[in-house]
Amino acid sequence: MKGASVSAGVRGAHVTVGAKGTRTTVGVPGTGVSYSQYDRHGVSTPPAGDQRGAPEGRSSLAGDVIAALLVVAVVAVVVSFLSG
């Protein structure tokens, strides 16, 4: 059985949060060009040399959701600006 998920977004960007991870997708409306990133919950890969990450390389679900919603908000502003 697959788990439930919640999806939110605007034209050109959306975030889907499921039991195992978060998928963030941004695109240029009407072109078919898009980028999608999947981040598993509880797994963090800090940049090389960055020792300030969460303990044992883990991140919180709340942090993932906040970061994903921030991406959606920024993309929404950019898309709105470019479209009119």
Residue 72 per-residue DSSP state: H
pLDDT in tens, 9-25: 888 888 898 888 899 98
Question: How far is the C-alpha of 66 from the C-alpha of 74, rounded, in Å?
Answer: 12
Q: ∠ at Cα 41 (17, 9), nearest 5°?
A: 20
* 15 beta partners: 8, 24
Of residues 36 and 79, more confidently modeled: 36
Q: What is the pTM of this model?
A: 0.49
Would the pLDDT of 39 be above 60? yes
Domain range enclosing 43:
5-83
Pairing of strands 33-40, 13-18: unpaired
How many domains does one find in the chain? 1
